Homo-oligomer: A and B are copies of this chain.
Amino acid sequence: MAKSKYEYVKQFELDDSLLPNTWLVVRIDGRGFHKFATAHGFTKPNDRPGLDLMNACAVAVMKDIQDVVLAYGESDEYSFVLHRSSNLYTRRASKIASTVVSLFAASYVFLWSRHFPEKTLQYPPCFDARVVCYPSDSNLRDYLCWRQADCHINNLYNTCFWEIVHSGRSEKEAEDELRGTVASEKNEMLFSRFGINYNAVPEMFRKGSVVVREEAEVTSLSAKTGLEVVRRKRIPTVLHVDIIGEEFWKSRPELLGS
């Protein structure tokens, strides 16, 4: 049973290395999450434990893969940014994307019960992944703006939509009523009709979640002395902040730095 006569089949594995010196963004996306959300009774428009679980998975990915410098999540999707200098898996696209999505999906099941202690997971979720190169810092920032603007637009719409539905209308009626409305009209509707100040909606829902490595004090026991040791370490930390403006980037020059 000589393996060697079959080994030629390895030649069919073509190289899929990504262009060096570009930002790599791995975006994972829930497949069939509408059905998944229904099957698990997720709250509409935002399910807090569900989003917390997504964030916990993102943190798990970042703890495992050091080359991820930032992650951004909203709804059932998450984007992971690898630094332009990263040489992870010699930048092979399939290797990078599959490792990230595998860790994320497996963590989702693994961490489920921590976030849903009273709910049984009915079936494992599924995510797809792709990896995209962005050549300039400004392209990368525009990518993240695109996702955060998407989060805002969807959340404003969904907040209105579910308020209308919860007020007794059908989903069809809610859709019809919202068709063609602009942001200011939706804000006004929420305020005058449902008594909701959109700006008071939790930032997690309006801005999505950003994970960056923030310095924090970490306390541990010294193996040698048995005493508590306090060290400063960079820990993946979930924030709900604006990443479109300059502020976020100015206060974290290391993110885009080399």
Contact = CB atoms under 8 A, between A and B. Distances in A.
Given A6-B142, A98-B97, A106 B124 contact: yes
A33 interface: no
B132 A12 contact: yes
A106 B105 contact: yes
Max chain B CB contacts within 10 Å: which of A10, A21, A183? A21
A98 B101 contact: yes
A201 interface: no
A193 B101 CA distance: 46
Interface string A16-36: 110111100000100100000
Given A14-B19, A98-B130, A6 B143 contact: yes
Interface of A: 1-3, 6-17, 19-22, 28, 31, 60, 64, 84, 93-95, 97-99, 101-110, 121, 123-136, 139, 142-143, 145-146, 149-150, 152-153, 183, 244
22 contacts: A1-B149, A1-B244, A3-B146, A3-B149, A12-B134, A12-B139, A12-B143, A15-B17, A19-B133, A20-B135, A21-B135, A94-B128, A94-B130, A99-B128, A101-B102, A101-B105, A102-B104, A102-B127, A106-B124, A106-B125, A106-B126, A109-B124
